[in-house]
Amino acid sequence: MSSKTLYDKVWDLHQVSQLPGGSTQLFIGLHLIHEVTSPQAFSALSEKNLAVLSPERTFGTVDHIVPTLNQNRPFADPLAEEMLSTLEKNCSTYGIPFFGIGSGKQGIVHVIAPELGLTQPGMTVACGDSHTSTHGAFGAIAFGIGTSQVRDVLASQTLAINKLKVRRIFVKGQLRKGVYAKDLILHIIRKLGVKAGNGFAYEFSGPAIESLPMEGRMTLCNMAIEGGARCGYVNPDQVTFDYLKGRMHAPKGKDWERAIAWWKTLSSNENAIFDDEISFDANDIVPTVTWGITPGQSIAINESLPQSTTFEVKDRPITEEAYSYMKIEPGGKIEGLKIDVCFIGSCTNGRLSDLREAASVAKGNHVADGIKAFVVPGSEKVALEAEEEGLDKIFLEAGFEWREPGCSMCLAMNPDRLEGDQISASSSNRNFKGRQGSASGRTLLMSPAMVAAAAITGKVSDVRHFLKDDSNS
């Protein structure tokens, strides 16, 4: 059993009681809600005649269903409009702060909470969305919950939950040029598999992790869930503190000094005990691309597509299913595979640094003929900052579309979607069958810089050929 890890320390601080069933009642420090998984929770509250215990500890925004071309109200899609107005009404009824379109604070829930300074080290963070693991980048215990649990957090600011085991994923070395946090996490998931994390929280540590900026750490923790781990986290350090300083909800004045002192006590101790430990070498990792229908089905850009016989017997059926769905053959190269659509955005890679990296590839180049390429900033703040730097112009000049913030084609609950069996290069996190809005649509996951490179050549390409020696430092 783990001890003295950050996970253990934060868990202990938030324990309210032991429930008769054996699970723990855990206090939730930050609760985030959005339009898709909250309406039924609010209905359940009113059916049971319950109040919201701590409305000031819940924050709402709208992201999944918002259109990215025209955000004027009412939305063209009446169902989307109904979902947003239901959320607005629920937030106002219960006194929950809500960041709506045009507030300057709207965006994908996992992008806005960090940028507003809401997500802080040592907190427990819950949201009705599996990519809540993102917030672990700050040294928080952050995890996705279902709608019944959203109801429970609203009613009691607590949850009934079981403690996870902790696996340390130690990454030595340094990522090379053209290799990003996205490649690192795709590589880890490929090696460990999509179910290895079931029952575990992943602690990411080691020199390669310490060198990652906050946004890279968020990309990494975001996809912990794709490896089966409900939580991923990074121990807080100076990089974390520098990111938080001065943000709207970050502690100020004397509180700030005390906060840092406390946050420093949270990291896993040197003699912490983990339930499991695995190590990787960042130097070994090259740009990585998924070719199949799970985030674990990926290869390095310069590898050949694996034969089904190279997998364990139990993994062969899904390998064959993937080849047949993706309409590609083992043995060939992924590099050079023609694509139709390029999507840069999502809570995995829709932050400012992601857009900068993609723009540095796009700059001075042009999207290939017949390719639809679009950039969806993760939040209004990301959009504004990108526009201040002129990134929008770089993209527009290169033939990309520049859209309004939202989840967009990550899961295609808005009008942005693949058609037929179109194949996309996407900076998002899931390549499940049908994920991007067409039941036969195909998704290749990769870093935003790789998506930009694919847009320019019209094919899966190695971004390292695009990077000049002085870039991506």
Partner 1 sequence: MIRPITPFPTGAIKQIEGKSIVLTGNDIDTDRIIPARFLKCVSFDLLGEQVFADDRKELKGEHPFDLPINQDASILVVNENFGCGSSREHAPQALMRWGIRAIIGKSFAEIFFGNCLALGIPCIKASEKIIESLQQSITSNPGDFIRINLEELSISDSSIKYNVLMDPGPLEMLKSGAWDATSQLINKRSEILEVMKNLPYLNNFKY
Residues 87-126: x where in contact with ligand SF4 by CB under 6 A, - otherwise, as a string: ---------------------x-x----------------
List the one residue from 92, 93, 103, 162 that touches partner 1 (CB under 8 A).
162
- Measured from the CB atom, is 171 or 352 closer to ligand SF4? 352
Q: How far is the CB of 406 from ligand SF4 (least distance, A)?
A: 8
Residue 304 binding target from partner 1, ligand SF4, none, CB below 5 to 8 Å by type: none
Q: Is 167 in the site for partner 1 (CB under 8 A)?
A: no
Residue 108 binding target from ligand SF4, partner 1, none, CB below 5 to 8 Å by type: ligand SF4
Residue 347 binding target from ligand SF4, partner 1, none, CB below 5 to 8 Å by type: ligand SF4
Q: How far is the CB of 425 from ligand SF4 (least distance, A)?
A: 16
Task: Give the footprint of partner 1 on residues 137-156 (CB under 8 A).
Answer: 143-149, 151-152, 155-156
Tell me the window of 36-44, 338-346, 359-367, 450-458 that interacts with partner 1 (CB under 8 A): 36-44
- Measured from the CB atom, is 179 or 409 closer to ligand SF4? 409
Integer Cα distance of 236 and 242 in angstroms: 11
Question: In degrees rounded to 5, what are phi and psi of residue 273?
Answer: -110, 130
List the one residue from 271, 309, 439, 469 that touches partner 1 (CB under 8 A).
439
List the one residue from 1, 21, 309, 369 that touches partner 1 (CB under 8 A).
21
Tell me the window of 80-88, 340-348, 365-373, 450-458 that interacts with partner 1 (CB under 8 A): 80-88
Q: Is 129 in the site for ligand SF4 (CB under 6 A)?
A: yes
What is the number of alpha carbons within 13 Å of residue 326 lying toward its C-beta?
Answer: 28
Q: How far is the CB of 416 from partner 1 (least distance, A)?
A: 12
- Measured from the CB atom, is 69 or 79 closer to partner 1? 79
Tell me the window of 74-82, 179-187, 331-339, 349-357 that interacts with partner 1 (CB under 8 A): 74-82
Q: Is 324 in the site for partner 1 (CB under 8 A)?
A: no
Q: How far is the CB of 446 from ligand SF4 (least distance, A)?
A: 15
Closest C-alpha to 215, from 152, 303, 154, 135: 135
Q: Is 13 in the site for partner 1 (CB under 8 A)?
A: yes
CA distances from 149 to 21, 33, 200, 271, 291 (A): 16, 12, 20, 34, 34
Peptide linkage before 317 cis (omega within 30 of 0) = no
- Measured from the CB atom, is 319 or 428 closer to ligand SF4? 428
**Burial classification of residue 87, based on how many CB atoms lie within 10 Å of its CB (0-12 exposed, 13-18 middle, 19 or more buried):** buried
- Measured from the CB atom, is 149 or 353 closer to partner 1? 149
Q: Is 186 in the site for partner 1 (CB under 8 A)?
A: no
Residues 190-229: x where in contact with partner 1 by CB under 8 A, - otherwise, as a string: ----xx--xx----------------------------x-
Task: Give the footprint of ligand SF4 on residues 393-432 (CB under 6 A).
Answer: 407, 410-411, 428-429
Q: Is 39 in the site for partner 1 (CB under 8 A)?
A: yes
Task: Give the footprint of partner 1 on residues 396-435 (CB under 8 A).
Answer: 411-413, 430, 432-435
- Measured from the CB atom, is 380 or 462 closer to ligand SF4? 380
The dihedral built from the CA positions of residue 460, 353, 368 and 443, taken in this order, carries a sign that is positive
- Measured from the CB atom, is 194 or 278 closer to partner 1? 194
Closest C-alpha to 134, from 57, 70, 200, 230: 230
Q: Is 14 in the site for ligand SF4 (CB under 6 A)?
A: no
Q: How far is the CB of 304 from partner 1 (least distance, A)?
A: 23
- Token pair in block for residue 206: 């080691």
Residue 175 binding target from ligand SF4, partner 1, none, CB below 5 to 8 Å by type: none
Helix axes 380-389, 352-362, angle to 10 degrees: 40
CA distances from 160 to 15, 47, 145 (A): 10, 21, 11
- Token pair in block for residue 253: 């004045």
- Amino acid, single-letter form, for residue 462: D
Q: How far is the CB of 148 from partner 1 (least distance, A)?
A: 4
Residues in contact with partner 1, counted by CB under 8 A, come to a total of 83
Contacting residues toward ligand SF4, per CB under 6 A? 63-64, 108, 110, 129, 131, 346-347, 407, 410-411, 428-429
